[in-house]
Amino acid sequence: MTIAVIGIGVACGLGHGKEAFRQGLFEAPNVFSHLKREGREPPEGEIPFIGVEMPDPPSILPARLARTATLSSRAAISVLDEAWNEAGLETVDPERIGLVVGGSNLMTRERVLALRDYSERLAYVPPRHGHMFLDTDICGLCTATYPIRGFAYSVGGASASGSVAIIQAMEAIRSGRVDVCIALGALQDLSAHDLQAMRAMGALGSTRFADSPADACRPMDTDHDGFIFGEACAALVLCRADKVTGGKLYGEILGASHVADGSRGPEPSSAGQVRAANLALAEAELTVSDIDTVNGHATSTPTGDDTELETYRTLGLEHARINATKSILGHGLSAAGAIEVAAVLIQIEEGRLHPNRNLETPLDPRFGWVGAKSETHDIRHALKFSFGFGGVDTALVIGAPGTGRRRQ
């Protein structure tokens, strides 16, 4: 059974909503700077953290609810509202709508601020703190605001959480549990503690480009030195491709795979990545030669990029055009998979590929890297990778509308 995407909602450093997202994807403006949200201040004497922060979410919730909602929750409502309205879900039986939120430990920055404010006056901790920092609070807020009554739960897959949510949503539709399922990649609201730990691990960049944040995020470039955090959130409305009656048909997810490669920490595994890709291709009934576009996980970490490049070589993807959405948005962590799938679907609709920022000297020039400007390209079949700490490897095969009809 082929799954279609009929609604998209996005939020990132380019702004809120698909129009800002669409324009920014192809123009690729610089949105990188030193992080300024309260709770992300570096240790005294340390270099500020580089990244991308989004504008405040629009005011959708009633004031009484907005006061008790975290930044991650308000961003989730923003993208869900856009995707819900586009897909016309008001006409669907609420008991046939499901929600999967991708991400775990999402609100550490606000928890750090709460600990600072109440550690010496615990008697004054607001009662709402008993639930507002749970990942399920995003599910609860979404289902309290929109008539989602099939089910709602969250899944953790580290930086692959958004893609894991998509795969779980697909499986719920295929099983007949629901007719429509929303996959939401939640905003991972990192604190200075998280950022410093990532820096100490060697995963986070970039002290090298401390004075030029615009140059810091360099996926697949020989001068890369670590991922650059970017706030992001996205929602995708999925349904059976042969049951599309409302909404806008952006494309079809023809195959998907989620495997474990046996790693505990940040160490990537090319073998696991290759296995995920081959399983997704097999489900799509396609071969590597059918793939014309690759949207990489491509974090800008030396080990991660080198391992992913090994995966490209093993699979034989030299013929495909390749780009990395993180070069424009930064690394959205739990939201990365979802918002990057949205980017693939927008590119399918537009018939062009977004540029790769800062890809000046590719790790391997034999591959079809997109350059510094967008390119016209008729995307038929795209391969989307998302990987996460803890040995999480996912791959999605995304087709233009109608490419999966033969498998209904």
Closest CA to 111 of 94, 99, 98, 128: 128
Instruction: Using the 3D structure, point to which of 212, 243, 274 is the last residue of a domain.
Output: 243
Q: Is residue 27 located within the same domain as residue 75?
A: yes
List phi, psi (to 5°) of 48. Answer: -60, 155
pLDDT of residue 408: 41
Domain edge (last residue) among 224, 243, 262: 243
| Same domain, residue pair 373 and 325 | yes
pLDDT along the chain (408 residues), means of 10: 96 98 98 97 91 97 93 98 96 97 97 95 95 95 98 98 98 97 98 96 90 97 97 98 84 98 96 98 98 98 98 98 98 98 98 98 98 98 98 98 66
Contact 384, 396 (CB under 8 A): yes
Peptide bond into 289 cis (omega under 30): no
The answer on 106 and 41 residing in a single domain is yes
243, 264, 285 - which closes a domain: 243
Quick one: 164 and 234 in the same domain? yes
Q: State whether 333 and 233 are in the same domain.
A: no
Buried b (16+ CB within 10 A) or exposed e, 99-136: bbbbbeebbbbbbbebeeeeeeeeeeeeeeeeebbebe
Domain ranges, residue 107 = 3-243
Tally of domains within the chain: 2
DSSP 120-143: T-GGG--GGGGTTTSTHHHHHHHH
Does residue 279 share a domain with residue 212? no
CA dihedral for 116, 102, 89, 96, sign (positive or negative): negative
Distance (Å) of CA 84 to CA 148, 186, 231 = 11, 16, 21
The whole-angstrom separation of Cα 408 and Cα 406 is 6
Considering the domain architecture, whether residues 344 and 327 belong to the same structural domain is answered as: yes
Q: What is the CATH number of the domain that holds 387?
A: 3.40.47.10
Q: Based on the domain organization, do 219 and 262 belong to the same domain?
A: no
In 205-314, where do the E strands start and end?
Answer: 229-230, 232-240, 251-260, 293-295
Tell whether 208 and 256 lie within a shared domain.
no
In a shared domain, residues 46 and 195: yes
Residues 259, 233 share a domain: no
pLDDT digits (tens, 9 = 90+) for 133-162: 999 999 999 999 999 999 999 999 999 999
Total residues found in the chain within this entry: 408
Q: Indicate whether 167 and 293 sit together in one domain.
A: no
